[in-house]
Structures are given as C-alpha cells and as structure tokens.
Chains A and B, each alone.
Chain A
Amino acid sequence: MKPWRNPGLWLVLALTVAISVWPALASNKAYTREVSFTILKAVALASSLNILLGYTGYVSFGHIVFYGMGGYVGFYLLDVHNAPLYVAVLAGGLASGLIAFLLGRAILRLRGAYFALATIGINEAARAFIKNFDLFGGPIGMSLNFNVYKSYGGPNQALWIAFISMAALTLVITVVSFLVKTSRFGLGLMAIRENEDAAEVMGVVAPSSKTWAYVLSAIFPGMVGVLFFFKNGNIEPPDAFNLHQSIETIVMVMLGGYGTVLGPVLGSAIYQRLRGLLLVSPLFKNIQLAVAGVLLLIIILFMPAGVVGWLRSRFGALRRVLE
C-alpha cells in the first residue's frame, strides 16, 4: 500500500498539526506556544525513542544523552561560531547519530536489562565528561549572547522561529516513524523485537539493523536538543543529561502504546497535559517523578500495549486507522 493511502498516517499527521496550530488560534498566543512547544518536543523525543524501544525492543533508559550531546554541539556552534540555526540543528543531529553509531556497535550486543543499564551509564558518563570539558563551559555550561537573537529579529521572533522549527521537525519525525514501521527495515526491527535469534535465522542482519535503528533514534533527539537550548538561551550539564526526562519519555511511549506510530504522539499529549495539571498543584509539584513511576507501573500491569494497543484490541474496526 502506498503510504499516503494509509489513513493511519493521516491521523498521526492531523494530531501533530493540531498541536502545532493550536497557539495560532489561542487567545494567549505566547503562553500556548510554550505549552505546545513542550508537547511537540515530547512527541519528537517519544517517537524517536519508539524506533528503538517500540519497534526494535531495546529499552534505552539513558536516551536523553543524545538530546544533551546534540544540544551541546549545536549550542556551541550557535554561540561560538555564530552558525545559522539550521546548521546548528543539522550538526547536533549528525553528532548524536555519529555517537550512536560508535556506541551501538559495542552496546547493542547486550540484551535486556544489561543494555538498559549500559545506556544509563553512558548518560552519566557523558554528563561527567561535559562537566569537565572546558570548550563547552564545564560545569557552568554556556549562555547565548543576546546578539545572536538579533539576527532572528529579536528574542520574541526567535521564540516563534524555534517553535515553528520544532513543529516542522516533529512532523518529519512522525512521518519517518511511519515509513520505518511500514518498511522492510521496520519489519526486520520488529522481528528482532519478537525473537532476535529467530530473526537472524530468517536472514535479518540483526547487528546492522539494530545499529541503524539506534542511529535513527538518536539523530532526532540531537536536533530537538539544539532547538530547545536555542530557545532556552543557556545550556548546563544537569539540564542536558537529565535522567528524569529520559524516564518520562519511556512513560509516554508506554502510555500511548509502544511499537505504534500513533502511540508516542498520543502518549506525549496525554502525559504532558497531565503533567501540566500536576505541576500547578503544590502537593504534586515535588513528586512528579514518583507519579510518572506509578503511572508506568499501572500501564505495564493493566495496559501493557498502551492506549493505542488497547483501542486496537477492543475495537477491531479501528485497526485500519490506528497504525
């Protein structure tokens, strides 16, 4: 089936576009833009992680390392070399992809919990390294010179540019996620997820398939990192390599439904709305990670296939629409 003939693709795109145009229609545009940016960023991170976690079945706990690394590389280019935003974004994605390629060869031999632990170790090691890396500002990090925003028509204009870029990038990621899922490459990944040994016997070249899945799932977080820290104006090791954010991304994938294209989009939207509500409550503000943990437990126990998986099994007719 041609991809554009698949209603599943259109549903995912419609949802992503709806989140993106919402600020243009809202009365408080600046505020809504920030909320929408946060959701889009979550969608982008979750959909990227889903290529590895959902399609390939490898749980990467420290996936945020690619967001941090890409963010740092892009930020450095923006700050020190006055690079245009798009160059910084591409460089950030490239850097993360390259790191994943080099790491992947080594750690993708590990399976299950060993792989998950290794990814946490890598994130912590990256944070420690950057803390001592003077070129990137060491423990203090870097701050953008205000003049950088001038070339984008001032800080306010720059915020809109960051937002629109984020929306476009998220759209690209959801399309890529769909194309991967419906391709031969994606079928190979899912075969690996279901039974790696059997997949190899069938002819799936697991080592290289896994590596490319890992690279793909790392490139986009790298680009997202650049956009976020450009908007943020400064970058520091704790923000770039925040394990909490990594775990929240896993929760969003699981909540929506791992291994589906729509799942991470829906899961991110639901989780971010929930988080927004909890953050205003003083009671929940300090325990939001605990809430995420409990939520993850509930999903795994009662809805292991997530919202999309549940809908698919409950309403057979929806299968054609929910990819």
Chain B
Amino acid sequence: MTGQAQTPILQIQAVSKHFGGLQALSNVTFDLPEGQILGLIGPNGAGKTTLFNCINGIYPPEQGHVIFRGRDITGWKPYRVARTGLARTHQIVQPLNELTVLQNVIAGASFGHEHHPLSQAREIADQVLTFVGLAERRDALAAKLNVAQKKRLELARALAARPYLLLLDEVLAGLNPTEIAEMVDVVRAIRDQGVTILIIEHVMHALMNVSDRVIVLDYGEQIAEGSPDEVANDPKVIEAYLGDPKLAQQMMLAE
C-alpha cells in the first residue's frame, strides 16, 4: 500500500444520534488527516457539541462508528477515550472550582493519555500554563478566574494530557477581539507542535484563518465541506445562516 495516504487520525463513519423526536446528527461522515485543523461550523443547535459528545463517549451514537488512530472507539467511556490520546474542552467551561489552577492542569496531565505521576505532571502543568499564558494565576482557585481565563484553563487542562487529537468546543466564544487573536495564535501553536485539532465555532469568520478544512452542519446534516473559501461561498451554507442575518453578515465580512 505504499504511496497511499496515511490512515486519518479520526474517522467519523455515518454517525447518527437523536434526542426524542429530534434528529441531532444524521449520517455524519468525514475523515480528519493527522496534523490538520478541521473547523466544524453551523448555526446554534446544529449538532456540533453532540458530535463531540459521541466522539469522546459522553453518550454513544445510535448508529455509525468513531475510529481513532485505527481503533474503533464507538461507545467507549470518556475516561477510556481520554487514555487513548484524545482530549477535549467544553463549550460551557467545567473548571474544578475549589482546586487551584495548577491542580486542575496537573489533573489533566496525570489522568490523561500519558498518565504521569504527580511530580512529572506538575512540570508539564507548569509548561502548559506558561504556554497558554496563565502562569501567574497558577495558585488561584479555578472559581476565581474570569471567563477568558477559564477558557484558557479548559484548554490548558486538555493540552496537559499531551493528546494526539484535541477537540475544541467554541473556545473563542465570549472573548473580545484581542482575546480571540491571542487564542487563535495559541491554537496555531498547538497545531505546530503536531497536535491534530477539530475545532467547533458558532460563527465562521473566526475559523477562516486557522482551519485547513471546514465542515458545515445544519440540523444534524452535513451540508458542506471544503476549504474555508469554498465553504464560505457555498450557497447552501449562506442559506443555512440566512435565518440569522447577523451571522450571515459576519460570514460575508470574513471573506
């Protein structure tokens, strides 16, 4: 098989999931090659977070398969998925409030993929905190951070696991333009370290500059896929966003 492209790090094969009468995901299928940043966009309620939840085992999909590094991890518990080298952040930040920032990140390093003992986990945590720019807050309780800092903490904790694949759920939402620019730099730097990234964003323009490829979800359906430029000019995508004129406008601005 020489000369063929290497197996994608993540393969989503015909994944479907519904909640009661609501089809949150229908037949979602795509591959994510190693080392890329794949953007996942779509209007609110499109099923983006649900897809993350199916990937990392919050709940199993009803149909389809999730293949990570050649292994079928469909329906595995989140802690088992974490140990295979897949880490994620949450759209609604989930800090361990009564623990310090440092303890939060140590936990990420010592329970995640590489499973380090505490002393080594601490070193990794220190590096990661410096990397995301939270070093000076390391001894504060996580509860005391502001929103932007909590997003960074969420990212630091996932990174400390040293994953092969990082799932980022709206890490840019709620940040001001300066903070967004900083965060985008951090995301790029993570990719440059060799980590593959699947990143969700509600609005598109933020993702235009970082994504190698973009997939658009709407009502659980995959309506477009391609380079950021292709997707931004796809009439189906523009239509999907038309229900929300403000977003449609933001998309245009991004071009």
Contacts and interface: CB of A to CB of B under 8 A. Distances in A.
A53 to B, nearest CB: 14
Contacts of A193: 98
A198 interface: yes
B228 interface: no
B196 interface: no
Contacts of A183: 118
Contacts of B96: 190-191, 194-195, 198-199
User: Which of A183, A191, A199, A202 lies at the interface centre, i.e. has the most chain B CB atoms within 10 A of its CB?
Assistant: A202
16 contacts: A184-B117, A187-B106, A188-B111, A191-B111, A194-B96, A194-B97, A195-B95, A195-B97, A197-B78, A199-B107, A200-B78, A200-B79, A200-B82, A203-B79, A203-B112, A203-B115
Interface in B38-84: 56, 58, 77-79, 82-83
Contacts of A202: 79, 82, 87, 107-108, 111-112, 157, 161
Closest 7 CB pairs of A and B: A203-B82, A203-B111, A194-B96, A198-B94, A200-B78, A201-B78, A203-B112
Given A187-B110, A198-B90, A198-B94, A203 B83 contact: yes
Interface string A171-201: 0000000000001100110110111011111
A206 interface: yes
Contact of A203 (B58, B98, B161): B161
Nearest to A193: B98
Contacts of A201: 56, 58, 78-79, 82, 88, 90, 94
A205 interface: yes
A295 interface: no
Nearest to B122: A1
Contacts of A205: 79
Contact of B103 (A187, A195, A204, A259): A187
A253 B104 CA distance: 24
Given A201-B56, A204-B79, A206-B79, A188 B107 contact: yes
Contacts of A184: 110-111, 117-118, 121
Interface of A: 183-184, 187-188, 190-191, 193-195, 197-206, 259
Contacts of B106: 187
A191 to B, nearest CB: 5
A199 B103 CA distance: 12
Contacts of B113: 203
B129 to A, nearest CB: 16
A224 B82 CA distance: 39
B80 to A, nearest CB: 8
User: Which of A187, A195, A203, A206 lies at the interface centre, i.e. has the most chain B CB atoms within 10 A of its CB?
Assistant: A203
A201 B104 CA distance: 13
B99 interface: yes
Interface in B110-160: 110-113, 115, 117-118, 121, 157
A205 B83 CA distance: 10
A183 B58 CA distance: 27
B116 to A, nearest CB: 9
B79 A190 contact: no
Contacts of A194: 95-99
Nearest to B121: A184
A193 B107 CA distance: 13
Contact of A200 (B77, B87, B115, B157): B77
A200 B87 CA distance: 11
A199 B108 CA distance: 9
Contacts of B97: 194-195
Interface in B195-212: none
B138 to A, nearest CB: 14
